[in-house]
Amino acid sequence: MKEINDNKKAWSLLSKDHYEHYKKKLTENKVRINENILRELGDIKGKTLIHLQCNTGADTISLGSLGLSKAVGVDLSDTNVYYANKLASDFQMDHISFIESDVLKLSEIHHEKYDIVFTSEGVLGWLPDLKKWAKVVREMMKDDGYFYVYDSHPFFHLFDEEDLSKGKTNLKYDYFNALPDQSNDIGGYASEVKHANNYWWNHSISDIINALIEAGLSICYFNEFDTLFWQNGNMVEVKPYLFQYKDFRNQIPLSYSIKAVVKK
């Protein structure tokens, strides 16, 4: 698919910068997972985990240092996977490995099942087909395992970002939008912004939840937060890796989480 190929090329432009950025950050602080995720995941000691859309593996390594028995990261970009392996070896994380794959095709090449299927922080918008995605999620789960996602809220993505940082709300995008947004900019949160064609789909909350239900999962919870996991302009870091607009505290959901298990 042209859009996926373009996204792969675009993300690959950032791999080296992300590796260098996250190597420095992980050296300063071994666990770079925000407090909302840590609280909701709870004790993961001894579990096996697959991390979908893991980029250059920084969060896989953070999770791996919380006592997982095994962690596997998956990413579309071959250079992300190259640098993720390098990062794991820099931090002597022998129980962590990485697979290059389009997440929508993962079950064609990978047949293991995990206690936890995890994905977070800038993920679902890169996927054109949530029904396929949810099917893969189910295929990666043990029958008594669980799925966890923490991502930016589709409602937040309706607004003009620059206006939000100036304290103004201006609806710029559609909520019910099957077509992708095309952009020529990518990155900017752990690297300079680079220029390459890329595509992003703003899936509605109902599409996300219904895809998981149709794949045979039961939703344990759906939570919403007025904090975001990157600095989107004029935000205050209220907790490590969690940012808030002073003007919109308690007003706009900026991120959400879902936990789901296999339906009995």
Ligand X SMILES: C[S@@+](CC[C@H](N)C(=O)[O-])C[C@H]1O[C@@H](n2cnc3c(N)ncnc32)[C@H](O)[C@@H]1O
Residues lying near ligand X in the complex (CB under 6 A) are found at 4, 7, 11, 53-55, 58-59, 75-77, 80, 102-104, 120-123, 126-127
Q: Tokens 């952009």 label which residue?
A: 183
Nearer to ligand X, 153 or 169 (CB): 153
Amino acid of residue 248:
F
Nearer to ligand X, 171 or 178 (CB): 178
How far is C-alpha 133 from the geometric centre of its chain's CA atoms? Answer: 13
Q: What is the dihedral of CA 91, 95, 98, 103, to 10 degrees?
A: -130
Q: What's the half-sphere exposure (Cβ side, CA atoms, 13 Å) at 187?
A: 21
Nearer to ligand X, 48 or 55 (CB): 55
Amino acid of residue 151:
D
Angle, CA of 123, 128 and 133, to the nearest 5°: 65
Angle, CA of 101, 105 and 109, to the nearest 5°: 70
Nearer to ligand X, 55 or 263 (CB): 55
Nearer to ligand X, 104 or 141 (CB): 104
Which helix (H) or strand (E) segment holds residue 219: the answer is: strand 217-225
Rounded Cα gap, residues 237 and 255, in angstroms? 15
